[in-house]
Structure 1
Amino acid sequence: MSGETDRSSTIKIMKDAAVARTYDADGLRRRAACLCFKDRTEKEILLISSTHDVEKWIVPGGGIDPGEESVVAAEREALEEAGATGVVDRLLGIFENKEKNTRTWVYAFYVVHLEDHWTESKSLDRRRQWFPLNDAKKVLSAHKPLQVSYINVAEGMQITP
């Protein structure tokens, strides 16, 4: 019971912190995310469990703090949510979700290191797992179809030798 109470408290703190997030001039909340690739072949990505349902997988991402650049926010979110450090390669695109009132900058990110213990692994019992791109699209399609489009854009940008 104590673990669930801690998790609920952490989620409330996260929602309270979201109030400080930034918005565009047209009222869309600014977010940043990373497609965390295992390597430069871009054949596998790291997904994390959702805080709302640990059986569902999502792309690491979250709100951009006031005064923070989108690329810095994307790197921060990869570390906080997935325990991943690495190198941002390129902006894949800016995606709008009118239903959730968000605009998300999505970056290709090459993972260099995964922490054994990271912020949200402890506070939210967050899990992570590597997925081949097609499998990632399947697990995201039911509840995060916009995130499938992130992968589709990345696949369209891949250069074949």
Structure 2
Amino acid sequence: MKFKPNQRTYDRQGFKKRAACLCFRSEQEDEALLVSSSRCPDQEVYEAGVKGKLCRLLGIFEQNQDRKHRTYVYVLTVTEILEDWEDSVNIGRKREWFKVEDAIKVLQCHKPVYAEYLEKLKLGCSPANGNSTVPSLPDKWNPP
């Protein structure tokens, strides 16, 4: 089978499989990194331009309206901030740290689904959303 570089993958129920990370300054998870949107540079909605330690699965979020998406959202503790990254150079994205409560407010205006991810973190929910149980990450995802 030949794979295309940006080929979509689907699970058995027909959901498009996606992954996302919430990037935090420290393991206390009290400050989240948001990056400006490519369409509206003054709106912070994406994380990018960092390296870090993948900590845990926060939850699995489903969108069933127009498109069926199942997004696996992970917590990432930032260990290195890149001076330049592809989207900052090519389309001028900027990044900013926000207290979690403030990040939720920003995201509720522009990307309510992303705000849900941080709200779940704030509530201290378990790594699975109740629909399935997901094992912890293997050591190969976090090299020493």
So what's the TM-score if we normalise by structure 2?
A: 0.76
Structure 1 counterpart of 2:55, from 89, 98, 111 = 89
For the 8 Å contact 1:91–1:106, the answer to whether it is kept is yes
Question: Would you identify which runs of 4 or more consecutive aligned residues in structure 1 move more than 4 Å?
Answer: none
Q: Identity over aligned residues, as a percent?
A: 40
Counterpart in 2 of 1:129? 96
Instruction: Give the match's secondary structure for 1:47.
Output: strand
For the 8 Å contact 1:34–1:59, the answer to whether it is kept is no
- Find out whether 1:102 has 2:69 as its counterpart: yes
Q: Distance in 1 between matches of 2:25 and 2:113?
A: 21
Change (3 A) 1:55 1:27: farther
Q: Distance in 1 between matches of 2:101 and 2:118?
A: 9
Q: Distance in 2 between matches of 1:125 and 1:91?
A: 30
Q: Distance in 1 between matches of 2:102 and 2:86?
A: 26
The CA deviation at 1:157 is 2.3
Q: Distance in 1 between matches of 2:105 and 2:122?
A: 15
- Find out whether 1:29 has 2:19 as its counterpart: no
Structure 2 counterpart of 1:56, from 43, 49, 55 = 43
The CA deviation at 1:17 is 6.1
For the 8 Å contact 1:28–1:102, the answer to whether it is kept is yes
Q: Distance in 2 between matches of 1:124 and 1:102?
A: 26
Change (3 A) 1:28 1:53: farther
- Find out whether 1:111 has 2:72 as its counterpart: no
Q: Distance in 2 between matches of 1:116 and 1:30?
A: 30
CA RMSD of aligned residues (A): 1.9
For residue 142 of structure 1, what is the amino acid of its counterpart? C
Provide Cα deviations, 1:116-157, integer angstroms capped at 9, x if missing partner.
011111122111110011110111002211111111111222
Provide Cα deviations, 1:26-52, integer angstroms capped at 9, x if missing partner.
332211111101001111000011123
